[in-house]
Structure 1
Amino acid sequence: MNVLVQLCYVLAAVLFIFGLKMMSHPRTAVRGNLCGSLGMLIAIVATLWLHEVVTYEYILVGVLIGSIAGAWLALKVPMTAMPQMVGLLNGFGGGASVLVAGAELLRGGVGEINPYVAMVATAVSGIIGAVTFWGSLVAFGKLQELKMFKKPVSLPGQQAINVVLLILAVLLAGWMVAGEPAHAAWTYLAIVVIASVLGVFLVNPIGGADMPVVIALLNSYSGLAACATGFVINNSVLIIAGSLVGASGIILSNIMCKAMNRSLTNVLFGVMEAGSLAGSADEFYATVRSTTADDIAMLLDGVQRVVFVPGYGMAVAQAQHAVRDLGKIIEERGGTVEYAIHPVAGRMPGHMNVLLAEADVDYEQLKEMDQINPTMETVDVAIVIGANDVVNPLAKTDPNSPIAGMPIIDVDKARTVVVIKRSLSPGFAGIPNPLFGAPNTLMFFADGQKAVLDIVRAVKEL
């Protein structure tokens, strides 16, 4: 029976790997998701065959609760809240690792194969899992813009405190491994408490603009915690799955750090502190010019090249279908339409790609920042819909800005910029945007979907 289970685990691991590979491209992403889900189903069913399973009552209750919760979240959580949900799920993964490792320690099953390896893995599960759980809850609060988490809070000597907490957790882990088994449970509890405080302290000082990187990193942590828990319970498929999640999360974090001009080392040690507010909003917005749908329609009449720059506001307004319709009309009239995608547009990687794919926008029209920026000066009209921080020139001009050094989409170089936005309110970084008052910028103040639909109507009436 165990041989068959191990073969099922190998099949599940292969499906995980192929699933990740297929999810690297929009055309195969859905199949990749299904492939990974099938692998997990096979792994779960195979695990239930193990002779160690004594009774299924509690397992079935857990499956029922988890299935109901998962289905409810999938149906009810809007796309705009997906980053928060991802952060929460990362936390659940870390919390589960802490509980499983702790339960195995209390059961006395730790070390049935190799006592030292299993005990070290238990300590690692406790440290990484607790950091992930509480760090993810703080990240959720920041993304949800809860009042108590809205502003980054850093204690005096925060980094020194974090280092001391980490050293304490590691020392306790060493004591648990080398000490008396009778004291292991209490030592593990102390490790989890210290790591929980560390998780809060690591994420709390980080500004909202850096949350996408933090979410990717916490995703990696949850995978590493699961991998360590796999060693605790001697489960090969959990080790493989955790390793894949951990490695892919680190790779994604590194890619996003490069996109935001951040250091991965700084992220790992929680030193991505928020900067000060840059400049005066009154100064930047003194020259703001508003426009109307009819004026924009006349502007688009006969244009050769139009670039849409989507952001979180497009997701909130659910304007992706209207944007697609406007793009098709421009193409029918001889214009070229492209979509400039910043790596961290929205609040998580791929947020805009998913929305535009949902609206059946041709993937070939989606251009990455590095592709679009060199040719931005040849763009007749750049239409910014719901994006703010990722087009904010302060990233290049103000070294004290929270987004200082972050590469942006250079829409300010286009001949004309149209910004569709409800108001002049700041983006997630909480700073003003001088683009709104630039000489070549026109502001269209309206809900994103309504604004684009009004432009579509006006263009058709020309």
Structure 2
Amino acid sequence: MFDSIIVVNLVYLVAAVLFIFGLKMLAYPRSAVHGNLVSSLGMLIAVVVTFYLIFADGTASWAGWLLIAIGLIVGTVIGVLLAVKVEMTQMPQLVALFNGLGGGASVLVAGAELIGLTDAEATADVMLATGLSGLIGTVTFWGSLVAFGKLQEIDWFEKPLPIPAPQAFNAVLGVLLIVLMITMASTGMGWPYLVIFLLASVLGFTLVMPIGGADMPVVIALLNSYSGLAAAATGFVIDNNVLIIAGSLVGASGIILTQIMCKAMNRSLLSVLFGSMQTGGGPAGADNELYATVRSTSADDIAMILENAQRVVFVPGYGLAVAQAQHAVRDLANILRDRGTEIEYAIHPVAGRMPGHMNVLLAEADVPYEQLKEMDEINPTLNQVDVAIVIGANDVVNPLANTDPNSPIAGMPIIEVEKARTVIVIKRSLSPGFAKIPNPLFAAENTLMYFSDGKKAVLDIVTAMKEL
């Protein structure tokens, strides 16, 4: 039996190494697909070894194995359906659900283990880990459902909480939850776990509900980290090393990604968690005055401008995702490339509704990885760009971030498209972005507005290019 445990732990170690290498490969677009496969192989190995442990232990009944089989079948069917049916534009909502399901699974596993603990096994460290798993997992589950509702633009999730002082309310809940976890650890009693679940369910709602839609990329990254921390705590509860390692990797990478998102928005994590992004406002008619010099254009005019362009940069935003225009943009880029034009895509870290949203959409359309440029890489050379085409982006190209210290987005790093010789903005209307503020870029001397659905607009430009 001793030798068997050594082999199992060594195989778990192999799985953990595959997780680490897979995660490293996911950091680069060119190797991301292989990284996903490597990580999946690691998880397959971990699952197979866990099944072996259950079988070798001999405690699982036929009913237990039946439940495992049902779970595998149901999970496989749901996974396949989601992979086939979910559009790339719905990927942020799907990621939010995945985060929530990870947290919910940790709560159920830790709770099931708690029921089977003997008095001798209910040590302080085990009970504390169980309480942490219940707290973090529950907050992740319900918070992720709220994030899903906001991303899905369900009206109920946009309403303010009927609580006069939500931050103070959350602080009280936090103190009560800490007291309950200490009670579990010091007494070895399991009843506080149910209370932790109930209070943490409320906390999951009250923490995420006040956060604005503009902050959802940060929230998704943070909830992803929470799901990893919940899994790591559950690993301590059931004494599973590979779960501890995998959860720690997810937790750490989620925190790092959260910091990157906050930096990209020039916001602190505390300002995201304890208050929504301040929305802009102004005197009546202020927007009309600003947009008095807006110039609109047509597909034919854009085609003539692009015909002589040596360097063109596309700036995708959430509007591109909604219009599902990524394939049309690729077709336009290919036409320009065949005519000798240099093509690049400027990617803002928080463009879209989840980290890497634009990268995923463009990768789906087989856009070459080398054409994707980070914001810091593209900004210094934008004054050498002939045409910058903004598709569905708003706040991430708003010059007010650099020029107005009183703006809600003041100091937020943006893609400085206004430096390009010509800027073409494809947008349905002059409506503001998430920050609810006007965008002076639309009225700039070198900007032309093409008012249309993103996909239709690009297809019309493609048609006009072919007719030249």
Same fold (TM over 0.5): yes
Which is further off, 197-206 or 28-37?
A: 197-206
Partners of 1:371 and 1:226 lie apart in 2 by: 36
Matched, 1:67 2:72: no
Size of the alignment, in residue pairs? Answer: 456
1:215-364 to 2 correspondences below 5 Å: 215-267=220-272, 270-279=273-282, 280-364=286-370
Change in Cα spacing, 1:110 to 1:275, as seen in structure 2 (3 Å) is farther
Quick one: which amino acid aligns to residue 445 of structure 1? Answer: F
1:323: Cα distance to partner? 1.5
Q: Identify the residue that residue 136 of structure 1 maps to in structure 2.
A: 144
Quick one: which amino acid aligns to residue 247 of structure 1? Answer: A
1:151: Cα distance to partner? 5.0
Following superposition, which runs of at least 4 residues in structure 1 exceed 6 angstroms of deviation? Answer: none
Which is further off, 157-166 or 34-43?
A: 157-166
Q: Identify the residue that residue 145 of structure 1 maps to in structure 2.
A: 153
Which is further off, 77-86 or 303-312?
A: 303-312
Which is further off, 309-318 or 229-238?
A: 309-318
Q: What SS class does the counterpart of residue 425 from structure 2 fall into?
A: strand
Question: What are structure 2's unaligned runs of at least 5 residues?
Answer: none
Partners of 2:119 and 2:245 lie apart in 1 by: 19
TM-score of the two chains, using structure 1 as the length reference: 0.93
1:61: Cα distance to partner? 1.0
Q: Deviations over 1:294-332 (max 9, x none)?
A: 111111121222111011122222222222222232233
Partners of 2:60 and 2:243 lie apart in 1 by: 17
Question: What are structure 1's unaligned runs of at least 5 residues?
Answer: none
- The question of whether the paired residues in 1 share the 8 Å contact of 2:131 and 2:193 is answered with yes
Q: Deviations over 1:64-92 (max 9, x none)?
A: 11111111111111100101110111011
1:31: Cα distance to partner? 0.9
Q: Deviations over 1:5-31 (max 9, x none)?
A: 222211211111111111111111111
1:284: Cα distance to partner? 3.3
Question: Which residue of 7, 16, 20 corresponds with 2:19?
Answer: 16
Quick one: which amino acid aligns to residue 136 of structure 1? Answer: S
Partners of 2:461 and 2:169 lie apart in 1 by: 54
Q: Deviations over 1:251-294 (max 9, x none)?
A: 11111111111113444xx2242213234433333332211101
- The question of whether the paired residues in 2 share the 8 Å contact of 1:154 and 1:204 is answered with no
- The question of whether the paired residues in 2 share the 8 Å contact of 1:142 and 1:150 is answered with yes
Matched, 1:107 2:116: yes
Which is further off, 393-402 or 255-264?
A: 393-402
Partners of 2:155 and 2:41 lie apart in 1 by: 40
Matched, 1:193 2:202: no
Partners of 1:257 and 1:156 lie apart in 2 by: 27
Quick one: which amino acid aligns to residue 342 of structure 1? Answer: H
Quick one: which amino acid aligns to residue 144 of structure 2? Answer: S
Partners of 2:212 and 2:119 lie apart in 1 by: 40
Which is further off, 367-376 or 257-266?
A: 257-266
- Percent identity reads 68
Change in Cα spacing, 1:84 to 1:403, as seen in structure 2 (3 Å) is farther
Question: Which residue of 37, 41, 48 corresponds with 1:38?
Answer: 41
- The question of whether the paired residues in 1 share the 8 Å contact of 2:127 and 2:188 is answered with no
- The question of whether the paired residues in 1 share the 8 Å contact of 2:119 and 2:188 is answered with no
Partners of 2:149 and 2:118 lie apart in 1 by: 36
Partners of 1:356 and 1:276 lie apart in 2 by: 30
Change in Cα spacing, 1:194 to 1:15, as seen in structure 2 (3 Å) is same
Partners of 2:409 and 2:144 lie apart in 1 by: 22
Change in Cα spacing, 1:361 to 1:294, as seen in structure 2 (3 Å) is same
Q: Deviations over 1:327-369 (max 9, x none)?
A: 2322333332211100111111111112222223222221111
Q: What SS class does the counterpart of residue 450 from structure 2 fall into?
A: strand
Q: Deviations over 1:20-54 (max 9, x none)?
A: 11111111111110111111111111111111434
1:152: Cα distance to partner? 5.5
TM-score of the two chains, using structure 2 as the length reference: 0.92
Quick one: which amino acid aligns to residue 28 of structure 2? Answer: H
1:195: Cα distance to partner? 1.6
Instruction: Kindly report the root-mean-square deviation, in angstroms, between the aligned alpha carbons of the 2 structures.
Output: 1.9
1:138: Cα distance to partner? 0.9
Quick one: which amino acid aligns to residue 336 of structure 2? Answer: I
Q: What SS class does the counterpart of residue 172 from structure 1 fall into?
A: helix
Change in Cα spacing, 1:148 to 1:399, as seen in structure 2 (3 Å) is farther
Question: Which residue of 50, 60, 79 corresponds with 1:53?
Answer: 60
Q: Identify the residue that residue 430 of structure 2 maps to in structure 1.
A: 424
Q: Deviations over 1:198-221 (max 9, x none)?
A: 221211111111110110000000
Which is further off, 58-67 or 224-233?
A: 58-67
Q: Identify the residue that residue 78 of structure 1 maps to in structure 2.
A: 87
Partners of 1:150 and 1:215 lie apart in 2 by: 17
Partners of 2:352 and 2:174 lie apart in 1 by: 32
Which is further off, 27-36 or 438-447?
A: 438-447
